[in-house]
Amino acid sequence: MTRYFSLLFVILLISCSDNTKMAFLSPPSIIPKPQKLEVREGSLTLGATMTFYSDPEFGLAKQFISEYLLPNGIVLEPASEEKAFWVLKKDTLLSKEGYTLEVSAKRIIMTARDPEGAFYGMQTIRQLLPPTFENGNLKESKGISLPLVKIEDTPRFSYRGMHLDVGRHFYGKEFIKKYLNYLAMLKMNYFHWHLTEDQGWRIEIKKYPELTSHAAYREETLIGHYNDAPQQFDGERYGGFYTQEDVKEVVAYAQKLNITIIPEIEMPGHAQAAISAYPELGCSGESVPVATQWGVFEEVFCPKEETFTFLENVLTEVVALFPGPYIHIGGDEAPKSHWKNCAHCQALIKKEGLKDEHELQSYFIKRIESFLNEKGKAIIGWDEILEGGLAPNATVMSWRGVQGGIEAARQQHQVIMTPTSFCYFDYYQSEDPNEPLAIGGFLPLEKVYGFNPVPTELSKEEASFILGAQGNVWTEYMDTEKQVEYMVFPRILALSEVVWTGPAKDPTHTYAEFASRVETFHQRLDALGVNYAHHLYKLISMIEKNDGQILYKLQTLSANKKIKFQKDYGEIQTYQDPIPVQKNTVITAQVFDEEKPLGTIVKDSIIFHKGVLGDINLQPEPHPNYSAGGKEALINGRLGSSTRYGDSEWLGFSGEDVTITIDLGKETSFSNVNLRFYHAPGQWIYAPKEIRLYASEDGTHFSQVDRKILDNNETLVHAHFHIPNTVTKFLKLEIPNYGKIPDGQQGAGNRAWTFVDEIIIE
């Protein structure tokens, strides 16, 4: 059940490895794509020694390129601007962070307004050079050529960020440096370092040594998925932390790459590890363990004076380590049950004239903001900090969709967009059932590429408060550095293009060209040793209804490629026309380059039941983030994944009761109606408690046929109606929403999601 995009054509970056000059006839494959790129015929050969002039202000760019070229045998020698082969000079008329680059037949001239632009210009030069430069394996530098180009470039957004959670799983400082290198290569300028969690505190605070001796370690870790029943654990102590010397080293390294690090110290929620070390910080004062599983926990910081003293002392040490303008204070997923039952909290609410616990959280955040403002820092918080009133100078990270960002922008607060549906790189990136375990959801490369951080609902003035976007990497299911790379690449390439080049005006038509550059970029990732995901050669498969026929269609956007398929494990054929389906059918297919197979095999099992030729109506429509297959996905003969809810066969509804009406087209005899629901409380997804089936002859007057009470103890909850020898034209299913998520569960107090799959009528 795979519907994927692949490549339309391949653009190759040609580079010389001998003394022969070669003409560069195709645009070079630069990611993110420059705003303006002109390619001329011919090339410029580089020597083992090149004279180089740099404006004194651009020392960072000079240092980077010198250190990048040296392992490949190329040395830059200082020279005057007039005599230099390579010139890097200042142009105050350019935009902030912008640069120009002209490679002519005689020399290289680069201009920039500021050090940032000069540095980004060097990243473009980097991508014009052969990928083997990345690992210093180029043994013969003589004859290396650059294409003749003229580039004018500047970023679309000022905030271009990536996040990494080191609380769930810990990665050493050397990997953090490697991660920073990846960001710099793609012209990203912010690294959001998520340092504290329920499962581990990762930064040394000298005033509170038990944060690292105790809170940095958990006794064991969950094995498998959070939704597995029963949950299992490995029984092994796990943890780690960064010393302040480690942090200083990483910060200094980031500065060399023009990256600002934003540390996150979570509050008031996601604080169980800290409370485990210092129980007096909680409302009960009772001892709790460092969390060993994932999720949202009831333990939150209690807004007592001793808690604020603790947090101010912690933040004082954090501020001294991070020179950037921001401190991220979290503010998300903070259950209020302990506050509701805490005499001190209730007295504080009354004393401060607050309405409820949400306003108490606002009071908490505002107090921390005031402290950090006095230290010269601004705060960033997740969009929950809007609840109860936004702190005066806070920047909002909008993650629960874009609505929080819209609301904050309309209040004239700066916003960083990071919605789950486009920016959560812990989601699955392929519908391949062999994908490594992930939290859930589905976020393929093409969807990231199609992201626009500026909601259309905003006016031009309101849109000016959108600083940019950020990719988030939550690591519950990433226990190795290689798995982090696999989940980040190549999706980070798409996000870098969104935030630097700007959102694609017509992503459906331009994605193929982007994907061709991604394919070329694979060579650079190979040289860097990056463990990236291979999902470019994918198939789009679909069911089409035409004149009472069911047709199975396959498509690839790869130029000069062919598709081979088998129907019911028969003869292997080359796909040319849609395949008729008249019974239960199994089709396997794969993309080929001549006789070489590419990508993975797609296998579809089509259930030719009595509803596939019908018409369907849904009330309400599914949520836009979970409606990729459209309403026809429920009667197209294909089941969704049994292990994840994010593919295009599952339809998701956010908190609403659902009514599904099916017109079978004529009086039809059947005996069984089967459907299933996804049940994953860890993702706020609950199967309904009951479901009702109705029948009608005219589509207007319906009679109830049956009602089922569902047992939602499994991930897949089946609803089976056995109604022998029923004859009707219309069927209707009423699916009441589960209701509000119970206290103590993730998302408590919010209405549950409903996810429904194929409705099989037999």
User: Can you name the residues that pair with 549 across neighbouring β-strands?
Assistant: 546
Amino acid 52 reads F
What's the rounded Cα separation, in Å, for the pair 47 and 137?
17
3-state secondary structure 8-68: CCCCCCCCCCCCCCCCCCCCCCCCCCCCEEEEEEEEEECCCEEEEEECHHHHHHHHHHHHH
Residue with tokens 């092994």: 236
CA angle (557, 561, 565) in 5-degree steps: 95
What's the rounded Cα separation, in Å, for the pair 700 and 743?
40
User: Can you name the residues that pair with 147 across neighbouring β-strands?
Assistant: 43
- Contact predicate 194/261, CB 8 Å: no
Q: For residue 296, which of 470, 168, 477 has the smallest C-alpha distance?
A: 168
pLDDT score of 744: 77
pLDDT score of 539: 86
- Write the CA distances from 64 to 54, 139, 342, 421, 499, integer angstroms: 12, 20, 55, 35, 23
The whole-chain average pLDDT of the chain stands at 92
Return the CATH architecture of domain 36-153.
2-Layer Sandwich (3.30)
Alpha-helix runs per DSSP H in 489-637: 491-500, 507-528
CA angle (369, 374, 380) in 5-degree steps: 30
Write out pLDDT tens, residues 572-595.
999 999 999 999 999 999 999 888
Write out pLDDT tens, residues 682-719.
889 999 999 999 999 999 999 999 999 998 888 899 99
Phi, psi angle pair for 445, to nearest 5° = -55, -45
In this structure, the strands spanning 596-606 and 585-593 are antiparallel
Most distant CA atoms of the chain, gap in Å: 92
Domain ranges of the chain: 36-153, 159-528, 540-604, 615-761
**Residue 358 buriedness (CB in 10 A; 0-12 / 13-18 / 19+):** middle
pLDDT score of 140: 59
pLDDT score of 745: 82
Specify whether domain 540-604 bears CATH 3.40.50: no
Q: Is the pLDDT of residue 629 over 90?
A: no
Q: Is the pLDDT of residue 3 over 70?
A: no
Alpha-helix runs per DSSP H in 353-402: 357-374
- Contact predicate 746/295, CB 8 Å: yes
Asked whether the whole model's pTM tops 0.85, one would answer yes
Q: Is the pLDDT of residue 16 over 60?
A: no
3-state secondary structure of 439: coil
Write out pLDDT tens, residues 18-39.
333 344 446 889 999 999 999 9
pLDDT score of 732: 97
Q: For residue 185, which of 524, 425, 526 has the smallest C-alpha distance?
A: 524
What's the average model confidence in pLDDT over 156-162?
98
Supply the DSSP symbol for 280: G
Tell me if 36-153 shares its fold with 159-528: no
Q: Is the pLDDT of residue 117 over 80?
A: yes
Q: Which of 76-85, 201-210, 744-753 has the lowest mean pLDDT?
A: 744-753
Q: For residue 449, which of 533, 399, 506 has the smallest C-alpha distance?
A: 506
pLDDT category at 142 given cuts 50, 70, 90 is low
Phi, psi angle pair for 693, to nearest 5° = -115, 135
pLDDT category at 15 given cuts 50, 70, 90 is very low
Q: Residue 23 CB: number of other CB atoms within 10 A?
A: 13
Write out pLDDT tens, residues 635-681.
999 999 888 888 889 999 999 999 999 999 999 999 999 999 999 99
What CATH number has the domain spanning 159-528? Answer: 3.20.20.80
In this structure, the strands spanning 200-201 and 108-112 are unpaired
What CATH number has the domain spanning 615-761? Answer: 2.60.120.260
Q: Is the pLDDT of residue 316 over 90?
A: yes
What's the average model confidence in pLDDT over 432-455?
93
pLDDT category at 138 given cuts 50, 70, 90 is low
pLDDT score of 434: 86
3-state secondary structure 494-506: HHHHHHHCCCCCC
In this structure, the strands spanning 159-165 and 190-194 are parallel
pLDDT score of 656: 95
What's the average model confidence in pLDDT over 341-370?
96
